[in-house]
Amino acid sequence: MLSIAVGLTLLTSVYAQFDIPEPEVIFYEPRGFRVSIPADPDIKLFAFHGSKNQQLQGTEAGTWNSDVTVPQDGRLVYEDSTTKFSRGDYLSYWVYVILNNGQGYSRLDMSKTANDFVQRLQNSFPSHNPIGFEIPTPEVKIFSRGFEVSIPEEEGITLFAFHGQLNFPFTGLQAGQWASDITRPTEGRYRFIERSTKLKPGDVLYFWVHVIFNGLGYNLEGQEYKVEGGTSAPAPTRPSRPTPTPTSPPFVSPVGVTTCQPSLTVLKNGTQPCTGSLIFEDDFHGRRLSDQWLVERRFGSVDPDNEFVIYLNRSENLEISRGYLKIKPTFTNTVYRDRYDLDIDDCTGEIDSPACSRSRTKFLDIIPPVLSARISTKGKFHFLYGKVEIRAQLPNGNWIFPELFLESARNTYSDEFLQSGQIRMAFVSGGPCNTQDLYQGVLLDSREPYRTNNLCVKRHSSGGKWASDFHTYTIIWTPEKISTYVDDKFNCEILPIDGFASHVVDNGEKYPGATKWQQLGLSKMAPFDQEFFLTLGLGVGGHNDFQDTKYCKLPWSNTSPRAMSQFWQKKSDWASSWENFDPDLQIDYVRVYAL
């Protein structure tokens, strides 16, 4: 339910034709309160968000967050029956309504101090008789970092809502530290998975759950689980549990339409957008790059792939023109001459590292001979699971390649050898070798024989170059697998049946990162069970993306400390291809959808 507040900001202050009536707030004796507005035929939904003695900021979810669709005695009413307010306590709250035409309106920054109280008549809170459904006992699993609470899939269940907090018991049906609605089962269970909190022995997880079964809502309150140690806890056992009672009406999420279902996709702030919603888009129709991108300024010639480029923010290398993002390679000596020493101004890499500074005393090679550009959403837009579409024309020229990646936001498993994973949307050599072969998939290590073990190849149907035309490259990343598409046609899927940690390459060896994925991973998808960000760029050469074979001779040695010098000395062998073809990477749009 925490995700609701984020969705609401999309509609706040957009319309001004409807004024929400001032809510009526009543505090009850001995406990409880009520917030309501008059029922209006035009109002489809009334949402209440509030907290006790804590000022809400903007559209913060609050301790209580609930949606009301059925009026009572001419009013849309939210009632709490458990919280005790004393004189001088205050309720901070905001409300939101959706009209029948789908438009949403909010009224923010309201508060009410508890000075007067109304005696609550016995049994005046709505009650329902149990109708035979019992919520299954939730199963709790503790990981080295994070935990999971789940119930088995059952016909009739359409929503499993989890509310939990660590080491603090609930005093009622509060939102809690964690609040999330799960509408899709995974491997036969509805699962809430928390991925960042490290629990230690003696910690107590307090939680309650809400389940919608055949259109009616049921609560199971007062649950707790004490962490005893280990990385995978058994299901909690309780001698008895109260029979859950149905609540009405069922949950409806106020994000502009009443059919919103929280997605399996998780955003940077921990929220879950609506299923199928567009969560990121750039069609590059402005005059300049939007602020949702970070423009990298650093040497590319660093581990793991050591591209022969310097990434800079120069109009000669990075341009938006006629609705396209264009990234172009140029020669370094046109700007810096032939130098061995260079410090990158406003470097986005690690300061005082090889990513930002080069000197002849520390490096045997020249500075990278090519200037290029690379942008990413690092620190701005991260997500876990989703569908990504990029329509692009790939670069055409010898030893040039596109960088259309998803990269790990935190390098949870390692910051070396790509062991935190990389997803490749599209990789094609610009020439002279294998220009007909497109590679899509994942990298689990930067070194062979591991590097290309999870890349699938697609041969161009007409025998031409992939770089000759625009194509739409798509990946769908789920908790079960990663699937790739080209022009809406399925290409392949990477399916970790028993987990990537158990995979072996042709020589029978496991991946070097397997132990960390097994110890720290939250699912079989590790390392692809963490947030990633988008990267768009153009690379040249490097130590790993081109292999020297009898069919494809490189103008450098991948193992040489002077590889860039070798490449530059043979410029006459490859530079003409950049002049005769189109070496630019052109991107029409980038879109990310929630699952």
Cut 0.75: pTM above it: no
Q: 439-460 burial, b for 16+ CB within 10 Å, e for fewer?
A: bbbbbbbbeeebbbbbbeebeb
Domain 281-593 in this protein, CATH class? mainly beta
Return the pLDDT at 91.
Answer: 94
Return the pLDDT at 234.
Answer: 40
Q: Which amino acid is at 164?
A: G
d(CA 196, CA 487): 36
- What's CA 504's distance to the chain center, in Å? 28
Tokens of 97: 């309504």
d(CA 545, CA 441): 14
Task: Spell out the domain ranges in the chain.
Answer: 2-124, 139-248, 281-593
Return the pLDDT at 15.
Answer: 34
Q: DSSP E strands: which ranges in 187-237?
A: 189-194, 204-213, 216-226
Q: Identify whether the C-beta of residue 60 lies closer than 8 Å to the C-beta of residue 96.
A: no
d(CA 50, CA 80): 11
Return the pLDDT at 178.
Answer: 80
CB proximity list for 191: less than 8 A, separation 6 or greater: 148, 149, 150, 182, 185
Look at strands 585-593 and 386-393 and give their pairing: antiparallel
CATH architecture of 2-124: Sandwich (2.60)
Q: 398-417 burial, b for 16+ CB within 10 Å, e for fewer?
A: bbbbbbbbbbbbeebbbeeb
Q: Which of 79, 86, 273, 258 is nearest to 173 (CA)?
A: 79
Return the pLDDT at 192.
Answer: 92
Give pLDDT tens digits along the chain (595 positions): 333 333 323 333 333 467 899 999 999 887 889 999 999 888 988 889 888 998 887 777 778 877 787 788 789 988 887 788 888 889 999 898 888 776 778 898 899 999 888 876 443 433 333 346 889 999 999 988 889 999 999 998 988 989 888 888 887 677 777 878 788 888 899 999 987 788 889 889 999 998 888 767 788 989 999 998 755 444 333 333 344 444 433 333 433 333 478 899 999 878 888 889 999 999 998 889 999 999 999 999 888 999 999 999 999 999 999 999 999 999 999 999 777 789 999 999 998 899 999 988 788 899 999 999 999 999 999 999 999 999 999 999 999 999 999 999 999 999 999 999 999 999 998 889 888 999 999 999 999 999 999 999 999 988 789 999 999 999 999 999 999 999 999 999 999 988 999 999 888 899 999 999 999 998 999 999 999 999 999 999 999 999 888 778 999 999 999 999 999 999 999 999 999 889 999 999 999 999 9
Q: What is the DSSP string of 28-58?
A: EESS-EEEEEE--TTEEEEEEEEEESS---T
d(CA 501, CA 528): 11
Q: Are 2-124 and 139-248 equal in CATH topology?
A: yes
Which CATH fold topology does 139-248 show?
Immunoglobulin-like (2.60.40)
Q: Which of 587, 590, 577, 579 is nearest to 430 (CA)?
A: 577
CB proximity list for 468: less than 8 A, separation 6 or greater: 396
DSSP state of 60: -
Q: Identify whether the C-beta of residue 22 lies closer than 8 Å to the C-beta of residue 112.
A: no
CA atoms within 13 A on the CB side of 38: 7
CB proximity list for 274: less than 8 A, separation 6 or greater: 7, 253, 255, 257, 260, 261, 262, 263, 594
Return the pLDDT at 54.
Answer: 86
d(CA 579, CA 400): 13
- Full 3-state SS string of 466-508: HHHCEEEEEEEECCCCEEEEECCEEEEEECCCCCHHHCECCCC
